[in-house]
Structure 1
Amino acid sequence: MIDQKFRKQMQEKRYFQNHRKVLVAVSGGLDSMTLFHLLYKNREELEIELGIVHVNHKQRPESNMEEKELSNFAQQLGVKFFSSNFSGDFSEEKARRFRYCFFEEIMLAKGYTALVTAHHADDQAETVFMRLLRGARLRHLSGMTEVQPFANGELIRPLLYFHKKDFPDILHFEDKSNLQNDYLRNRIRNLYLPSLEKENPRFKDSLISLGKEVENLQTALSHLTQDLDITNLEVFEQQIPEVQNFLLQEYLKKFPSLNINKKQFEEILGILRTKANYIHPLKDEYELVKDYKHFEIRKISRRSDLKVGSILLECGNQLQFGDYQFSFGTPLEGENIQAIAVSRETPLLLRHRKTGDCLRLKGHHKKLRRLFIDQKIPFEEREKAIIVEQNQQILAIVNIAISDLSKELKSDIMSTVLYIQKIR
């Protein structure tokens, strides 16, 4: 029965239409052995070459024997077999990370473009229930996806529509640790779900349906908002709070390693709704940067990574600095050229800003920091701003402000003009 249903699903889903080399994760348990046998039976029709990948977690006395038996099994069938041993302090999460790192390593090294795992409908129900218990956000209640990008190809879970009770009792290894309730997933499988199924015999199916509804909802919302420029604050602020919430969740999908919790999420949302220019440190060396028009999450900028150099420009010379061409005394050709009055007697220093920088505006000294805030200059532009200095005094900030000193030089017979043109 399962053979026909599986073959029909392969014909409908066409999981492997873009894959020829397929790696099957096999633990030796009933689930993965069933998956492998189904794929092996249909390999010619699917036009795929199979490989087996196995991780020995070294947690049971039988582990080494099972690894050897699987290796012999693969050899008898003429299927390539790859294995690795887990070492170090064991935890479910560490073991999972180790497995998938090894799977990725084999895919990249041996040219496999699809990894297939034996997760089935009961696993899906357990996953949704576990995430409910842990207070996951709505989008994470969708459970596991059938197909997702992985390594140089895809991770495929073709058994998500099959329940374990439908699997034939083929040759496999029993992992007795699955009967122990030391881990949450085992307690869910062995205790919680059986108890709840006494109240509702279709409780697992209800969990799976919930996960599918959440997935469909997320897909629909993503489609409806795909043309919105999420990081444009004018666009963001036009949305109702519920849409803002969704848009921020969509944006955070670009940074899976951040693992933003609910409290941090609300904090970020509050900053986007209320703060002006703002930098907020996040974890894993990321920061939220907000200016008056946009926001973004990026790797934290180290001051040593910024352009801190400076350069002298003598009268009569030209040079490029930053995104600009500077000409001391000789007019430049083209459009949008800024002209600043300077003295011809001493060289100019072109540099980036420093702590404590001030310039004279309308008869008063003003700190650059306050000027940038008042003029709502974005953080990115502040870091790239070029200062024109002469005789240790600031004459101008290119394309932002010209000091009183420069204006006073216009009537000086020893003055000339610094011409500035943006080149990129």
Structure 2
Amino acid sequence: MYTTIFKHIQKLAYFEKHQKVLIAVSGGVDSMNLLHFLHLYQEKLNIHLGIAHINHKQRPESEEEESYLREWAKLQNIPIYISHFSGIFSEKAARDFRYQFFKKIMAEHHYTALVTAHHADDQAETIFMRLLRGSRLRHLAGIQAVQDFGDGQLIRPFLEIPKRDLPDIFHFEDDSNKSLDYLRNRIRNHYFPELELENPQIKSAMRDLSQESQLVFQALRDLTAKIDKTNCLEFLSQTEAVQDFLLQEYLEQFSDLQISRKQFQELLHIIRTKENFNYKIKGNYHLIKTKTDIQIKKISLETDREKSPKVLEYDNVVEYKQYRFSFQELSTQSNSLLLYSDSPITLRGRQEGDSIDFGTFSKKIRRLFIDEKISLENREKAIIGQQDGEIIFVLVNDKTYLRKAPKDGIMKAKLYIEKLE
């Protein structure tokens, strides 16, 4: 009964690079079909199987499902790995729990592929759901048949197989699949049956839209492959339509950064109109724009301890940000700053209006950073040394800028600066 499915999967060579395959099995009809199919054809596919099951403990049948799968795996001599959901239950929490468990098992037991039972109807539902939610065109590409996952791949071999083509084998029913409290269930049990009265091929149309979207975006990737997305001059030399695509592509690198269309347009506007700009996007992510570069970076927030100024007394040592400062008496030790006062030194971050005296002229710290082409990220890490009300040094990007020595000043101490590993 699985012959046609096997020929299709064999043609696509999903398991060509894999020997140990972990199957996610819930106990429902889809995953039980996947389990039986792969068990039946494991020798022809040259794979060794393992089963991963999560008992969500949300239904009375959960214990029965777990017991059945344990017994089945034992009879077939297949390893089975089971975990019990913990925490406050929600669809997202359950999904995150499952996939973290799958990654853990793959790493510990050296599985290179995780296999799930998503089929063509799931794909159609996903596309329709994203349409309802106003997703970008690129996300209408839907679920991928193969994608990177953990240290291996996540494979969905049934993704082009309609649910009606899967046999109705022994499985456990989940009554929550009938509840209209969930959008996917409303799409499956209400919206699609209604829409099929207008277009009996609505599910097929959704899948065609997905495939066409994939092709369009792959074509755009191919055509723009030689464009450096982070080179500002190269980026801005493209048409606005290409700029839009390039920024979308660049943002795809940051899977945990989800932004609205309004935020996306703000990013584009900054890239097109601003110079030397640091824009906080979301969380720790920043867009850092200079004349030559466009970068999105995750910048760790400084702790309150690192933000607060520190006072360094004479004959003492303190650590501040990434450095150790030692304020000592004069000696023959090299790599030190000569000081003309033994008053306490305040170590702090830069402030609006800061300037340093270079003797014949004073320069705003902001202007110094611009002239020296200091990146916006490094500017935020700069350390200002202040003594007797005056800035005596600026430490930025491992380089120290010193004020002019006072006329007729007498050297009284040295400041040793060591970068921490």
| 1:272 has 2:274 as partner | no
For the pair 1:298 / 2:298, whether they are aligned, the reply is yes
Q: 1:387 to 1:317 in 2, by over 3 A?
A: farther
- 1:101 maps to 100
Q: Which amino acid aligns with 2:356?
A: L
Q: Is the 8 A contact 1:388 1:398 kept in 2?
A: no
Kindly provide the amino acid, as one letter, of the partner of residue 113 in structure 1: T
1:221 aligns with 2:250: no
Contact 1:43–1:49 (CA<8 Å) still a contact in 2?
yes
Give yes or no for the alignment of 1:163 onto 2:177. no
CA deviation vs aligned residue, 1:28-47 (integer Å, no higher than 9, x gap): 11111111111111111111
Aligned twin of 1:338: none
Task: Give the TM-score normalised by structure 1.
Answer: 0.80
Deviations 1:155-198 (A, max 9, x none): 00000111011111211112122112110000000011111111
Q: Distance in 1 between matches of 2:211 and 2:339?
A: 73
Distance across 2 between alignment mates of 1:28 and 1:309: 59
Amino acid at match of 1:299: I
Judge conservation of contact 1:289–1:298 (CA < 8 Å) in 2. no
2:366 aligned with 1:369: yes
> What is the match of residue 417 of structure 1?
none
Deviations 1:337-365 (A, max 9, x none): xxxxxx99999x9x997445423479553
CA pair 187-346 structure 1, distance change in 2 beyond 3 A: closer
Per-residue CA distance 1:274-308 (angstroms, 9 max, x = gap): 22222222323222222222122222352738445
Q: Compute the displacement of 1:89 (Å).
A: 2.7
Aligned AA for 2:283? D
For residue 205 of structure 2, what is the amino acid of its counterpart? S
Matched residue, 2:414? none
Q: Which runs of 5+ in 2 are unaligned?
A: 307-319, 411-421
CA apart distance, 1:20: 1.1
Q: Does the CA contact (< 8 Å) of 1:352 and 1:383 recur in 2? A: no
SS in 2 for 1:58: coil
1:130 alignment counterpart: 129
Q: Distance in 2 between matches of 1:217 and 1:57?
A: 39
Q: What secondary structure, in the 3-state scheme, does the structure 2 residue paired with 1:282 have? A: strand
Distance 1:169 1:344 in 2: 84
CA distance in 2, matches of 1:90, 1:53: 19
Q: Deviations over 1:395-416 (max 9, x none)?
A: 999999999958x99xx9x9xx
Aligned to 1:111: 110
Cα separation, 2, equivalents of 1:294 and 1:64: 56
2:119 is the counterpart of 1:120: yes
Q: 1:386 to 1:61 in 2, by over 3 A?
A: closer
Contact residue 124 and residue 203 of structure 2 kept, 8 A: yes
CA contact (8 A) 2:288 2:377 kept: no
Aligned to 1:234: 233
AA of the residue aligned to 1:92: E
2: CA distance, partners of 1:402 / 1:354: 13
Query: Per the alignment, in what secondary structure is the counterpart of residue 87 of structure 1?
Result: coil
Note if contact 2:350-2:383 (Cα within 8 Å) is conserved in structure 1. no
Give the Cα separation in 2 of the matches to 1:402 and 1:33.
68
Contact 1:389 1:396 in 2 (8 A): no
1 CA distance for matches of 2:391 and 2:172?
80
Residue deviations 1:358-413 (CA, integer Å, cap 9, x gap): 2347955332123434665432454677999999675999999999958x99xx9x
RMSD after superposition: 3.4
TM-score by length of 2: 0.81
Counterpart mapping for 1:392-407 below 5 A: 405=404
| Distance in 2 between residues matched to 1:395 and 1:177, nearest whole Å | 66
Structure-1 separation of matches of 2:324 and 2:370: 24
Contact 1:288–1:298 under 8 Å retained in 2? no
The verdict on how the C-alpha distance between 1:75 and 1:369 changes in structure 2, with shifts beyond 3 A counting, is same
Superposition map of 1:321-336 within 5 A: none
- Specify the SS of the correspondent of 2:57: coil
Rounded to whole Å, the distance in 2 between the matches of 1:64 and 1:388 is 65
Distance in 1 of aligned mates of 2:236 and 2:104: 44
* 1:213-264 deviations in Å (ceiling 9; x for gaps): 1111222222222332211111111111111111111111221111122222
Q: Partners of 2:228 and 2:383 in 1: how far apart?
A: 30
* C-alpha distance in 2 between matches for 1:295 and 1:149: 27
Contact 1:23/1:114, CA 8 A, preserved across alignment: yes
For residues 105 and 372 of structure 2, the distance between their equivalents in structure 1, rounded to whole angstroms, comes to 54
Q: Indicate how the Cα distance of structure 1 residues 318 and 74 shifts in structure 2: closer, same or farther if over 3 A, else same.
A: same
Q: Number of aligned pairs?
A: 389
Q: Distance in 1 between matches of 2:255 and 2:56?
A: 26
CA–CA distance in 1 between the matches of 2:52 and 2:73? 10
- Could you tell me which amino acid in structure 1 is paired with residue 104 of structure 2? E
Query: CA-to-partner distance for each residue in 1:75-118, whole Å, 9 max, x for gaps?
Result: 11111122222233322111111111111111112221111000
The residue matched to 1:42 in structure 2 has which SS? Answer: helix
Corresponding residue number in structure 2 for 1:17: 16
Residue type of the alignment partner of 1:122? D
- The letter of the residue matching 1:369 is R
Matched-pair contact (CA < 8 Å) for 1:292–1:378: no
Change in CA separation of 1:318 and 1:66 when aligned onto 2, cut-off 3 Å: same
Partner of 2:75: 76
Question: What's the counterpart of residue 331 of structure 1?
Answer: none
- Check 1:387–1:315 CA distance in 2 against 1; reply closer, same or farther (3 A cut): farther
What CA distance in whole angstroms lies between the structure 2 residues aligned with 1:22 and 1:403? 62
Q: Which amino acid aligns with 1:16?
A: F
Q: Distance in 2 between matches of 1:315 and 1:149?
A: 58
Alpha-carbon separation, structure 2, partners of 1:184 and 1:245: 31
